[in-house]
Structures are given as structure tokens and as C-alpha cells.
Amino acid sequence: MFVALSSGHGVSGRSHFHKKSGRGGGGQQRGGAKEGSVVSSPAVPPLDDHTQPVAPQPPRGIVPSDPATPVQPAEPCVFDVRAYGAVGDSTTDDTQAFREAWRAACASDNAILLVPSDGTFTITATTFSGPCKPGLVFQVDGVLMPPDGLDCWPASDNRRQWVVFSNLDGMTLRGAGTIEGNGEDWWNLPCKPHRGPNGSTLRGPCDSPTLLRFFMSRNLVVEGLRVENSPEFHFRFDGCSDVRVDGLYISSPANSPNTDGIHVENTERVAIYNSRISNGDDCISIGTGSYDVDIQNVTCGSGHGISIGSLGVHNSQACVANVTVRNAVIRNSDNGLRIKTWQGGMGSVSGITFDTVVMENVRNCIIVDQYYCLDKRCMNQSTAVHVTDVSYANVRGSYDVRAAPIHFACSDTVPCTNITMSEVELLPFSGELVDDPFCWSAYGLQQTPTIPPVTCLQEGLPESLLDNPDLKCR
């Protein structure tokens, strides 16, 4: 169940601004939570959405003269961060003001925590946690950003994440503003790929913060924001359910390392709609424990396309099921539609549908890689995550001729099965046609003629996969 939203991003109607009595001007030192602490809501149990108030009954024998007056929904209470001391001049640390505004909004029904449009607000790493009262909206109409790079990051703060929303039910993050990640200094660390001397990568700690993380929450809506230049992942959803993402614009340079646009793991019932994502890694990445993911009307620019995985690292079990990608466009990307798993893993990827996808100058348009490895030291192993029931329909466009547009590299012992292809038409962006798709241990069916022809799929189902307990998921 998703949260109902108003039609616009602005705050309309009568607003109630809440100020804390006796507060000084902006930039003044304030009491409250210590730096780096987790912001918790008051210990107030949330209302049960299914509990309805019992209307009073008139005395027996008396008929009311007028019909009952319908109950009007309560107007939202607006908690402007400036009312709690935020300055919004791009240099003042406004963390404490945001934390106090969150506490107040969390404890109020139908609250809007407002980041106003006429300011640029800087906050350090913070967890905004619940439970909160129903109807909470975190509205960013101005600019919100972390400190500018590693040198400005407080030593006591977590370097793996910046803003975390945790233990919430029914929250909306929206607005007409921008969340700016200030990621360039993080991308240039010598431990990042090709950032050391002479294009090398130096060993050592390489933590960089995810910009926005949602953890152990449900009934979430994220819409209408511009999010850019994250140090690492822009969005990460883990341990969540019933998530709707709509109308986002996510942007980072093509050479920014590991800046996935939206990452989903251990999360179910996810809708990602009507968004534009251009970055330096996966446009959307889907990790283990993800079920019922629906992606529609998404445009991916430079990066690594839409990826399921990587899965099964360090001999782990990985399960992903029921993922649909429909009406998508992928442009100038290293990959298009990719499934990647490590040797030695267990579990399965199943029920995957790619339908009506346009490729423009994509290097690896369709790829399944069960030999995924980040260096040359990976050993051959006999187990793998099973890839099965994958459909490609109405996939058209152009590819970079440096690689075959269709590539199925599957495990010898755990082959890919039930791959179906229909109305696939991929032509070179420039140069001559590459008409030799790669298949290894791949079983499936070419339902209609494809360009290039995929005659290398094998028929049937290998007996080695029958009743294999290592391939079972829920």
C-alpha cells in the first residue's frame, strides 16, 4: 500500500509553523543530541491505520435534524527547519536544527519537515529514525548537501552513509529542490579504480558514503527530486517493503566510480517509475533478497545499465525473483540489461522480464555473466546462482561494435535455463554487424527471428538442475 500524495510539490493551504520558545538566531550553539548521534522519535506508538473512531449515537427514539457533518482532514503542520535555527547559507552546520525539526515533525500527525527553497543547507551524517506519526513528509525545496569532501567530513561521523531514514512507516521524501552530494573529492581518492599513480588503484580503506539510505522501513514514497554527485550510491533501499520511486532526476559524471543511481536489496514490492538516471555505475542495481520489482519509463544515460547483481559473492546464497523492466531507454552505456553472479554462490534469479527496451550505442546490450569477477584472481568453482525464466521481448536499438550485443556466459554445472527471446533487433551504432552472439551453457528459445540471430541457445533442461537444494529460494 502506497501513501496518497497531493498533486504538487509545494506546500499549500494554511500552514502551522512551530517555533521553539526562547530560541536565539541562526548559527547559535543549541542543546540536544550530540554530534553524530541518532535522532529518535518520542516513544509514542503509531496509530493503527485500521482503527476507526466510533461515532457517538443519539439517544434511542431521537432522530437528528441534520445530516452528519463530514469530518474534514486535518491540515498539515509545517516544520520549517529555519524555525529551529537553520541558516541555509551553504557554510553553517545546520545539523542540529534538522534533528530538532525532525523530532517535532515525527511526533505530529500529517507533518511536513520543510527545507525551504531560498536556502542551501549543510548537514553532517544523520539518521532520522522512527516510528513517527502517520503522514510524515520530508520536503526538500531548497538545496541540501553534506560537507564538501573527505577533508571536511567530521572524523566521528560514519563514512559509509550520509542521510539514513530508519524504522519508518508511511513516509514521503519529495520536493522541487536538489540534494547535492559533493562527491568529487571522494571519487578522486587513490583507492578508487584508476585513481592511483599511472592509473593504478592503491590498496587501503576506501569507504565513501551512500547519499540517501532507507533502512527497515515500509510504505515509502520518493518523488520529484533532483539528486546529483553522490560520493557513492545515490539511493539505497535495504530491508524495506512497499516502495514507490517516481519522477527522480539523478545525475553524476560518467567517470564517477560506484555511483549507482538506485540500489535495492532485501526489499520487496518496489516500483521505480518515470525517472532519468545518468551516472558512473549501474543505473539501477538489484541485489539479493529483492522480490516484485517493477521498473517502468526509466531513461538511463552513461553508466552500466540496469543490473541484477552482483550475486553470490563469497559463496553466499542469493535470491531475486519477479523483476520487470518495461518501456526503458538506455543510452551510451557500457551495459544494457545485465545479470551478474559470482562463481561459488547458491540460490536463484528467476521470473525476470525485459519488455520494450530501446538501446542507443550500448556496448553489451544483453548480458548474463555467471563468471563475474573484479580481478584475475578468481578461482573456478562448481556452484553458481541459477539464472532461469528470463524473457527479452521488444528489445531494439544500436550497439557499440567493440563487443557482441548478446552475451550469455553461464556456469558449466549450473547452466542458465528457460531464456526466451522475441522481437529482439540490435544493429551496430556504427561499423559492421556483429552477427555472432556468445552462448555458453545457456538453454532457451528464440521465439521469433532476432537480429543478430541467436541460434546458440540449447534446447531442453539439464538433468543436473533437477531437485538441487542449493538452487532453492523461498
Side by side, which strands form the sheet with 438-440? 38-39, 126-129, 161-166, 210-215, 235-238, 262-265, 284-286, 306-311, 335-341, 364-369, 406-409, 438-440
Phi, psi of 101 (to 5 degrees): -65, -40
Q: How many Cβ atoms sit within 10 Å of the Cβ of residue 190?
A: 13
Q: Which three cell numbers stand for residue 207?
A: 569507504
Please report where in the chains the cell 520536493 appears, as a residue.
Answer: 175
CA distance 288 to 11: 38
Q: Which residues contact 217 (CB under 8 A, 6 or more apart)?
A: 130, 165, 166, 167, 168, 169, 171, 239, 240
- 160 neighbors 210 (Cβ within 8 angstroms): yes
Size of the chain in residues:
474
CA distance 113 to 71: 25
18 is catalytic: no
Largest CA distance in the chain: 92
Q: Which three cell numbers stand for residue 227?
A: 539528486
- 473 neighbors 316 (Cβ within 8 angstroms): no
Give SS3 for 382.
Answer: coil
Question: Which one of 304, 314, 386, 407 is the catalytic residue?
Answer: 304
CA distance 264 to 456: 32
- 441 neighbors 416 (Cβ within 8 angstroms): yes
Give me the active site residues, please: 304
